[in-house]
Structure 1
């Protein structure tokens, strides 16, 4: 369950990742069609729970205004010397800062109440996974250098080339061993002016 990127943000991030791949030792780069911001990872889900999950997502989206989002700086998960995951951060420009975390929390509460979902205990960090299976030399400092180099090479304009408006929650299905591996099952549009 997550937020899909706009076509323009996907293209921009793909171009950045392609340049970063030449500088960083990650063995598995995310297919651009799979870029998304995870709100909750549901794991293997029985078919009979999908309706309850859909109802929770629809209720969480109903009172929300579209989210202004932007690509942020990169980061890594795992040991700094050989991280497991390279990711792109997500920023919320403007007055709506914190809206993404509030959406994630509200969705988690609804999924718990209606679908028996148990959310992760770790604090939420909005991100887009760029690559996995890192090695030595792929830590946070190297990632930041590769990002800056890629941004300079693409010469983005200062008027929001990395920004987009998210208008819905997406329910994804994962197909292991396939690229791209995420299938969009349902979209739940934001309908409100915010909570």
Structure 2
């Protein structure tokens, strides 16, 4: 399980069009289903389903008093080796202060449940593809840096469960709306 904010349907459609164009030139093993586009706030890992109500309540407490904020898609980038990347992603811009504050609040709210924060710095992104499999070294210039810029409002935090052999594979099991 993990906690995330979802990308709007309109932004997902735009990202998917771009990912489809890229998939014709970039052999990644797996392309993310558009309904699975999200920005992770905290990865939880294996979590007993019996904990879902308490975790959801903690997320609802985080959401109380928050106002929706705007994010936007930005340039394409990679994680991992420059010539054989693990992840192809779309960057995130907009109200990053609100996003980072939300992420920190989520991490704090999950600490009493025993969930540890990641040691690496928080780098919000939207994963588009995984595991480059080309026979030639990956070249970022093929992708270009641009993604059609689209903005959307974040209205909620979601607790997502991974269903490995399903498409889409992320299922919302807890929801906390801002109000």
Length-normalised TM-score, structure 1 = 0.83
1:135-190 Cα shifts (integer Å, max 9, x gaps): 444354443x1x54xx5xxxx6xxxx610111000111110121110111222111
Contact 1:2–1:172 (Cα < 8 Å) also in 2: yes
- The equivalent of 1:82 in structure 2 is 84
SS state of the match for residue 54, structure 1? helix
Higher relative strand content: 2
Task: Give the superposition deviation at 1:40.
Answer: 0.8
Q: Counterparts in 2 of 1:1-195, with a 5 A limit? A: 1-92=3-94, 96-113=95-112, 115-135=113-133, 136-143=136-143, 145=144, 147-148=145-146, 162-191=150-179
Q: Is the Cα contact below 8 Å between 1:31 and 1:179 reproduced in 2?
A: yes
Q: Over residues 8-44 of structure 1, what are the superposed CA-to-partner deviations in whole Å (9 max), with x where a residue is unaligned?
A: 1111111111111112121210011111111111111
Query: Matched residues in 2 for 1:139 and 1:128: separation?
Result: 20
Q: Which runs of 5+ in 2 are unaligned?
A: none
For the 8 Å contact 1:25–1:137, the answer to whether it is kept is: no
**Equivalent residues of 1:83, 1:134 under 8 A apart:** yes
CA RMSD, Structure 1 to Structure 2 (Å): 1.6
Q: Give me the whole-angstrom Cα distance separating, in 1, the residues matched to 2:25 and 2:137.
A: 9
Contact 1:76/1:139, CA 8 A, preserved across alignment: no
State the alpha-carbon separation in 2 of the partners of residues 121 and 40 from structure 1.
Answer: 12
TM-score between both structures, scaled by the size of structure 2: 0.90
Moved over 6 A (4+): none
Aligned length: 175
Between the aligned partners of 2:54 and 2:141, the Cα distance in structure 1 is 42
Report deviation, 1:5: 1.2
What are the ranges of 5 or more consecutive residues in structure 1 without an aligned counterpart?
none
2 CA distance for matches of 1:9 and 1:133?
A: 23
Taking a change above 3 Å as real, the CA distance of residues 97 and 132 of structure 1, as seen in their structure-2 partners, is closer
